[in-house]
Structure 1
Amino acid sequence: MKGGLALDPRRLRQRRHLWNLCQLLRSGKPGGYQYSQAFTRALLAQARLPADQPLALLSHFPLLPAFPWPDAWRVDFYIDATSRQLFHDYGIGKRIYSNYQQLVLEWERRAYESSGAVVCRSQWAADSVVIDYGIDPAKVHVVPGGANLDETQLAALPTVDPPVPPSQEQPLRLGFLGKEWQRKGGPFLLELADALQQRGIPTVIRSIGPDPARLPSHPSLQPLGFIHKQTDTARFVAELQSWHFGTLFSDAEAFGISNRECLRLGVPVLAHAVGGIASTLPDGGCGQLFAAHPSAAEVADWIATRLSPYAGYLAWRAALAPRWREFTWDTAAEQLAAILGGSAATFASAERRDRVDAQAVTGPVGAQPGIGL
């Protein structure tokens, strides 16, 4: 069996409502169905996998399949974040009864312990697997994810010129990519735009993802709404390549695929060291990683220095563009294949498939409960 499993958590909505009601009556907190063994077993049952035949499963969700699984199966994990990180760093634990949280973490520990390998998208997640769950470091690996872009479509697009030096007519473009304006640092970008204006650098914030009607009014903010990267690839790519910098100043972040998409397109990134963001930028040639929660003045000063002389910025950007393969799922698949065995093409196919909507299962973090083989 190859490829991904078609699992649909929406079919379990009624069970979820009943489970949440029982949990509310029992503990006063209704959350956590997506972490329960009742959920993971019912979800995996949709695939009707044979328990008595050898199977190799690569799971994107730390609790799927529920442990213990059949002896004939080999289970490996490729995760964004551990449940402990979701509970604490993302604040999801506030909605879940503390005793139940501990039970979930123990299920997860046993799953990691019994797996063949635990591969993480970031060093941040790998450290949690080792330190928080006590898993042998020898079986824990880091493979950063790739840009969620169609390489065939990208190959057909024309080469574009880099953005010109900032001016009143064509301001500095800082890009925001993601649905969650608040968590991903949108308010900080408005402060940064003001700080840059004060330094004589006209600046606009180009925002892809958030509903424009829900964004604050600010003279530097230019909301673009949602751009579908698969069906409107040319527009999406042209927009990102017009940015001087992509940005990701999140309060909490398991990884940051938006950074990899910018880098895949030759656009340097500004971000700070929160969660797994550091693993999205391999080195200084990809952008600048600031200590967590920098001041707008600090980042504005760095940008002003980086842009002067502008020929230096262009040379820096020109050196990044030829590295595009580093930031693709093909490269991640090769690394996964080296760790887990098997065909890189199989892993690449599994990673490219349309996976289950994370919002329906794990909340905003993007840890997917799909399984690739």
Structure 2
Amino acid sequence: MHFASHWPSGALLDMADAPPFTVSLDCTRANIERDFGFGIWTLPEMEREAELLRRAARIYPMSHWAADSLVGDYGIDPARIRIIPPAQNLTAFKPKRSHDGPPNIVFIGNDFVRKGGPRLVEWVQGPLAGRCHLHIVSADPLAMVRGPDITAHGRVPHADLIARLLPKMDMMCLPTELDMSPHVLVEAAAARLPVVASRLGGIADIVLNGRSGILADIDSDAEFIAALTQLIEAPDLRRRMGEAAFRHARIAFDADTVYSQMIDEIRAAASMQDAAIFAPYVPQGVGVLNASRQPG
């Protein structure tokens, strides 16, 4: 049995004869508690999640960030972990189109505040004023911002977003305050857009810092403004990073490849074979929670 999200699999803990299972996830409770400070789950609740995941025949985290927590926080055997990233149909995306005027920055996110939209608006209306144009795609009423350098599109059908809007964009910015492996960044790579985004969660697996985009400290307006300024002023850099993003997408995120390999992985796990479809996860040093407890 495979669970595309690990929350429903929790019912298996109370089953006397639970079937073998595999599970996909984008984070652990330990990830969220340590990195975002939610204060939602107690240690016993995190241990219950750990007990569940230790029973899984195979675990498929979306990122190294989540995989590190499985090993470091929950003591999962790395041999049972395969990192399988978000997937995207790359053929749906259209070639980029030239346009007049300053570079276009696109922000996509329905939770406007959590995704950092108000901060981006402040930068575009402040230090970046007159040097770029911000396009906001969001169903959030708070995102209906008006200004000389801003266009609020509201909700845009996905097909229109891919075919009509993204080809006119020059970069994406996502100064999110809380995310795991946001799929919109995979779509940016498929659209050949360099990205400026927060350095948190599993984002570093999607945006290759310095190669396909620039990651900034979530608390540093200065880092975000500097990164956006760098891309605004350098069209050749935008082009190189956009092409690097698309190459990364073809290697890591192509849906045909990822889904077919994942099916092979689940079949191998079901037959108890140690198939080398995806390489086993190799932890980078000590686990993240254990690392935080090392003496200075």
Q: 2: CA distance between counterparts of 1:217 and 1:158?
A: 28
Deviations 1:11-63, CA, capped at 9 Å, x for gaps: xxxxxxxxxxxxxxxxxxxxxxxxxxxxxxxxxxxxxxxxxxxxx32341245
Unpaired runs of 5+ residues, structure 1, are 1-55, 344-373
1:176 aligns with 2:122: no
TM-score in terms of structure 2 length: 0.76
CA gap of 1:256–1:74, structure 2 versus 1, over 3 A, is same
**Counterpart in 1 of 2:157?**
228
Partner of 1:109, secondary structure, is helix
CA gap of 1:121–1:214, structure 2 versus 1, over 3 A, is same
Deviations 1:38-89, CA, capped at 9 Å, x for gaps: xxxxxxxxxxxxxxxxxx3234124514215464722111101112334555
Q: 2: CA distance between counterparts of 1:307 and 1:102?
A: 46
Partner of 2:30, secondary structure, is helix
Unpaired runs of 5+ residues, structure 2, are 270-296
Indicate if the aligned counterparts of 2:186 and 2:253 stay in contact, CA closer than 8 A: yes
Cα offset, 1:180, TM superposition:
0.8
1:76 aligns with 2:22: yes
Q: 1: CA distance between counterparts of 2:78 and 2:154?
A: 42
Cα offset, 1:269, TM superposition:
1.1
**Counterpart in 2 of 1:28?**
none
TM-score in terms of structure 1 length: 0.62
Q: 2: CA distance between counterparts of 1:132 and 1:287?
A: 30
Give 1:196's match in structure 2, choosing from 128, 134, 146: 128
Matches within 5 A, 1:94-243: 94=40, 101-147=42-88, 154=92, 159-161=95-97, 163-164=98-99, 170-193=101-124, 194-197=126-129, 202-212=131-141, 215-229=144-158, 233-243=159-169
CA gap of 1:243–1:212, structure 2 versus 1, over 3 A, is farther
User: Aligned Cα RMSD in Å?
Assistant: 3.0
- The letter of the residue matching 1:259 is L
Partner of 1:205, secondary structure, is strand
- The letter of the residue matching 1:204 is H
**Counterpart in 2 of 1:19?**
none
Deviations 1:214-244, CA, capped at 9 Å, x for gaps: 5455443321111121xxx144432122221
Indicate if the aligned counterparts of 2:112 and 2:140 stay in contact, CA closer than 8 A: no
Q: 2: CA distance between counterparts of 1:109 and 1:293?
A: 31
Indicate if the aligned counterparts of 1:62 and 1:111 stay in contact, CA closer than 8 A: no
CA gap of 1:312–1:178, structure 2 versus 1, over 3 A, is closer
Indicate if the aligned counterparts of 2:94 and 2:191 stay in contact, CA closer than 8 A: no
CA gap of 1:65–1:316, structure 2 versus 1, over 3 A, is closer
CA gap of 1:312–1:283, structure 2 versus 1, over 3 A, is closer
Indicate if the aligned counterparts of 2:196 and 2:227 stay in contact, CA closer than 8 A: no
Matches within 5 A, 1:43-58: 56-58=1-3
- Which stretch of structure 1 is more off in the superposition, 315-324 or 250-259? 315-324
CA gap of 1:329–1:284, structure 2 versus 1, over 3 A, is farther
- The letter of the residue matching 1:159 is P
1:310 aligns with 2:242: no
Partner of 2:49, secondary structure, is helix
Q: 2: CA distance between counterparts of 1:115 and 1:255?
A: 22
Please say which structure displays the higher CA radius of gyration.
1
Cα offset, 1:273, TM superposition:
0.9
1:60 aligns with 2:5: yes
Partner of 1:175, secondary structure, is strand
Identity of paired residues, percent? Answer: 23
